[in-house]
Amino acid sequence: MREESAPDAVVAAVAGRQHGAVSIVQLHEAGLSDAAVMRRVRAGRLHKLHRGVYAVGHIAPSNERRWMAAVLALGKAAVLSHRSGAALWGLLPADTGPVDVSLPSRSGRRRRQGIRIHRPASSEAREITRRRGIPVTSPAQTLADLRPVVSTSELRRAIRQADVLGLPTGPEIVPDRTRSELERQFLWLCRRHHLPVPEVNRRIGELTVDFCWAKRGLIVETDGYRYHRGRAAFEDDRARDLRLRALGYEVVRLSYRQVFDDSAQVAAVLQTALRAPY
């Protein structure tokens, strides 16, 4: 028993710094063999969280331990990022979905259940720090990472919260070339559902269209009720669509509700249209 007490004390100290989570590497460094680890698992002293990552003593859930365990599961180069990083910084509420972890682009790590792996471009300089002992992207880097994966309203909320908390946010995030919240939401929809990025506010003849995939002959117009209500607007929109079709384009009109509430259905329709022969 005395031979085991020293490794257990080391493990307890490490777990205390890491929200109750330890990696198999750290258990080995503390002096525990694989057999000793398995004895502790069977005895209920260690609880598996991921392959090669364990909770020490108990399995009471906490966001910090869940985030720390995901980082430990992916090795020394792993850092919390994106939505999970924003939650750790207090910029967005924590959720129960997969934990976002960033790895160097050349890493060979495979998918892990409960973890969403991000691999930034190798040429991209990443700002890394620690918060509550957890490796995480800096506030400015977290906001930059958030932009393509959250809605415009969530990004704005995160930026405002960073300002409230006095966190450095880095260079101002350049807004998309869109003319309304509705158009910004449509761009987020495209990113969320992995659609090709359209041209924004493209000029076609005498008209400017909201979104265009010119090589596929597809145009999307996003129609907010305020600017497209009434008979005159209805007639103008139909005349506009006829002119665009005469130039060889298919036109899809989307309402505010469709863009915000039916994104999956909208994406499915656009995916079919983009795959069609042109």
- Domain CATH for 270: 3.40.960.10
Task: Report which of residues 195 and 231 the model is more confident about.
Answer: 195
The reply to whether 12 and 35 lie within a common domain is yes
Indicate if the pLDDT at residue 125 is higher than 90: no
Mean pLDDT of 64-88: 95
Task: Examine the domain organization and report whether 136 and 190 are in the same domain.
Answer: no
Q: Give the count of domains, the chain.
A: 3
Instruction: Let me know whether 192 and 125 are in one domain.
Output: no
- Of 110 and 34, the one with more pLDDT: 34
Query: Is residue 82 located within the same domain as residue 120?
Result: yes
Residues 127, 149 within the same domain: yes
Q: Taking residues 257-261, what's their average pLDDT?
A: 83
Contacts of 32 (CB under 8 A, 6+ apart): 7, 11, 40
Q: Which residue has the higher pLDDT, 150 or 11?
A: 11
Domain contains 92? yes
- Same-domain status, 69 and 160: yes
CB contact set of 195 (below 8 Å; sequence gap of 6+): 189, 267, 270, 271, 274
* Nearest by Cα to 11 from 31, 39, 33, 41: 31
Residues 152 and 193 in one domain: no
Phi, psi (rounded to 5 degrees) for 54: -135, 150
Q: Please tell me the predicted confidence (pLDDT) of residue 108.
A: 58
Per-residue pLDDT, 5: 67
Last residue of a domain, which of 140, 165, 190? 165
Q: Are residues 251 and 197 in the same domain?
A: yes
- At 4, is the pLDDT very low, low, confident or very high (cuts 50, 70, 90)? low
For residue 172, name the pLDDT band (cuts at 50, 70, 90): low
Regarding whether 86 and 156 lie in a shared domain, the answer is: yes
Provide the mean pLDDT of the chain.
Answer: 86
- Choose the weakest-confidence range: 30-44, 136-150, 168-182: 168-182
pLDDT score of 174 more than 60: no
Same domain, yes or no: 150 and 229: no
Q: Which of the four pLDDT bands, split at 50, 70 and 90, describes residue 236? A: confident
Kind of pairing between the strands at 115-118 and 99-102:
parallel
Q: Say what the pLDDT of residue 28 is.
A: 96
| Same-domain pairing of 82 and 113 | yes
- Pick the range with the lowest mean pLDDT from 174-183, 240-249, 257-266: 174-183
The values of phi and psi at residue 117, to 5°, are: -90, 135
In a domain, 9, yes or no: yes
Structure-model confidence comparison of residues 249 and 169, the more confident one: 249
pLDDT confidence tier of residue 230, bands split at 50, 70 and 90:
low
- Residue 172 within a domain: no
- Report, as an integer, the average pLDDT of 207-216: 91
Which tops the pLDDT comparison, 52 or 149? 52
Alpha carbon distances (Å) from 86 to 36, 95, 118, 133, 140: 37, 11, 15, 15, 10
| pTM, two decimal places | 0.62
Q: Does residue 170 belong to any structural domain of this protein?
A: no
- Residue 108 in domain: yes
Average pLDDT of the residues in 92-115: 84
* DSSP secondary structure letter of residue 252: E
Across 33-56, average pLDDT: 94
pLDDT(46) > 70? yes
Final residue before a domain boundary, out of 99, 130, 165: 165
Residue 171: inside a domain: no
What is the domain extent for residue 147?
63-165
- 109 domain-assigned: yes
Which of 48, 76, 58 is closest to 16 using CA atoms?
Answer: 58
Both 211 and 251 in one domain: the answer is yes
55-84 mean pLDDT? 92
Q: Which of 122, 140, 165 is the last residue of a domain?
A: 165
